Amino acid sequence: MVVGMTSGSAAWQRGDRRTAALARAVEDGLLGPQSPVVGLLDVDGVLAAVDALDEAFEGPAPVLHTFAAKACGLVPVLRLLADAGMGCEVASPGELEQALAAGFPYDRLVFDSPAKTVQELEFALAHGIAINLDNFQELARVDRLLAGREASGPIGLRVNPQVGAGAIGAMSTATATSKFGVALRDPGAVDAVIEAFEHRPWLNRLHAHVGSQGCPLPLIAEGIRAAYELAERINTRLGRARITGIDIGGGLPVNFADEDDRPTYADYVAELRAAAPGLFDGRYTLVTEFGRSLLAKSGTIGTVVEYTKSAGGRRIAVTHAGAQVATRTVFMPGSWPLRVGVFDAAGRPKQGPAEVVDIAGPCCFAGDLTASARELPAVEPGDVVALYDTGAYYFSSHFSYNSLPRPAVYGYRTGADGQLRFALVREAQSVRGVVEESGLAQAYNLVVLRTR
């Protein structure tokens, strides 16, 4: 039952699964002195999120839910989502290849990027991959590539409804000066969009995405309503249903304050239905591009505490998880705070009086903190610190500062026999791998160049 997925009981169950997984990871040696940082992904939590998304959009309108690959471009994770019936939204050649390797068919892919090359467009057009074009120059480029031929897949135009920013400017894509899409409130823009559809029979979708974390649901709904109203205007003007699909993006914010899922996908859909009820009547195929909200709450980064110390009256716990895995949190802690758990060396939750402590990472700069001035049970060397809600971006968007290797990632699930099992998602990168990636094979090339 989807309601249960967002209820307190389901949140507690997820927390219990996470606690069991951390203890088992320590017991199995996946997390410990030899493996001081690891990513853990709750497979049941991910599948429950997919079910909640599907149920929220049930109705007469056909829907393709695509996962935004940028949120976790790990092939086994993408394969899990493909197996659960999702499509995939990609925004680069690398993400496209990851999605194909994961088994997504061409007709369940959506290619978004503000900088698609001719070669990338040719590939998408040849294989029937849905494309969202970003600007009028890209429209003209596709004109030349098609050369009068019909397109083999849906092609849309991204529009910027310019409804404003949410709480995090960098996550807001519908501002007055956003780099994405055709800015609808700029002089002449709407007329130019209408003309584009009048002269291109192959253009059949509109795409709008207001933003993600920090964007409230009413703001998101306002932007999508603008795209829907433009679609209605274009179809009325042309006297037929030229626009057959609307890509409404993703952007459901994630609650990083506690265990609960809020807002829910049902909340999101209710907001959209109130703003643009005709969106759901079946005349348009809807496409979504959720990412963070599908994975975040199901992910945990576990890390060993190497040292503890005091400075200026503040306790500091030095761990192996910092800016290399929690980049946004370290550089924008006010916008991307993480909840923190403390476990003993056996992986059991610690109890006892709280102390104020900073949780520091291994990177060689002072701001490498994943949590500041938190009241937590006393932290000692050998303990385990868990960074919660890290299933999206934290596993796959590694920051190579100080040449720190990428940690291993495991998925976990409890079987019918009650036994918790792990499945390897990505091997830990070796230090040798870091060196090879940094140009080892070309070590002498600059010296040779100097002697010529």
Give one DSSP letter per residue of 66-96, joined into a string.
EEEGGG---HHHHHHHHHTT-EEEE-SHHHH
Q: Give the per-residue pLDDT at 26.
A: 98
Give me the residues paired with residue 359 across strands.
Answer: 317, 371
CA–CA gap between residue 11 and residue 18 (Å, rounded):
11
The widest CA-to-CA distance across the chain, in whole angstroms, is: 73
pLDDT of residue 113: 94
Q: Rounded distance, CA 126 to CA 180, Å?
A: 25
Residue 168: count of CB within 10 angstroms of its CB? 18
Q: Which pLDDT does position 148 carry in this prediction? A: 86
Average pLDDT, the chain: 95
Can you give the pLDDT at residue 10?
83
User: What's the pLDDT score for residue 4?
Assistant: 36
Q: Which long-range contacts (CB under 8 A, 24 or more apart) does 83-87 make?
A: 84/47, 84/50, 85/50, 85/54, 86/50, 87/287
- Which residues are CB-contacts of 311 (< 8 A; sequence separation ≥ 6)? none
Q: Which of 390, 301, 395, 388 is nearest to 72 (CA)?
A: 395
Here the tokens at position 208 are 């709008």
- Among the listed residues 188, 226, 194, the one whose alpha carbon sits nearest the alpha carbon of residue 207: 226
- Looking at residue 7, its pLDDT comes to 55
Calculate the alpha carbon distances from 262 to 44, 76, 256, 363 in Å.
18, 27, 9, 33
pLDDT recorded at residue 9: 81
Distance of alpha carbon 165 from alpha carbon 174, whole angstroms? 7
pLDDT under 50: residue ranges of the chain: 1-6
Phi, psi of 35 (to 5 degrees): -135, 80
Buried b or exposed e, range 397-407, using 16+ CB within 10 angstroms: eebebeebbbb
Q: What percent of the chain has pLDDT over 70?
A: 98
Give, as one character, the DSSP assignment of residue 277: G
Provide the sign of the torsion angle of the four alpha carbons 20, 21, 22, 23, taken in this order: positive
H, E, C per residue of 231-263? HHHHHHHHCCCCCCEEECCCCCCCCCCCCCCCC
- pLDDT, residue 3, reads 35
Active-site annotation, residues: 364
**Which residue has 């761990």 as its token pair?**
319
Q: Give the model's pLDDT for residue 31.
A: 98
Q: How far, in Å, CA of 78 to CA of 101, rounded?
A: 9
Cα separation, 412 vs 15, whole angstroms:
13
- According to the model, what pLDDT value does residue 373 have? 97
pLDDT tens digit string along 161-215?
Answer: 989 888 888 877 878 888 899 999 999 999 999 999 999 999 999 999 998 888 8
As a whole number of Å, the end-to-end CA separation of the chain is 71
Of the candidates 388, 312, 376, the residue with the CA atom closest to the CA atom of residue 344: 376
pLDDT score recorded for residue 169: 85
Report the candidate in 84, 172, 77, 170 with the shortest Cα–Cα distance to residue 391: 77
Instruction: Report the candidate in 235, 234, 224, 207 with the shortest Cα–Cα distance to residue 277.
Output: 224
Instruction: Tell me how far apart the alpha carbons of residues 108 and 84 are, in angstroms, rounded to a whole number.
Output: 13
- Convert 169-214 into a string of H (helix), E (strand) and C (coil): HHHECCCCCCCCCEECCCCCHHHHHHHHHHCCCCCCEEECCCECCC
Residue 173's pLDDT is: 82
Contacts for 157 with CB less than 8 Å, ≥ 6 apart? 132, 133, 139, 181, 182, 193, 196, 197, 203, 205, 206, 207
Task: Classify the C-alpha dihedral 413-344-388-364 as positive or negative.
Answer: negative
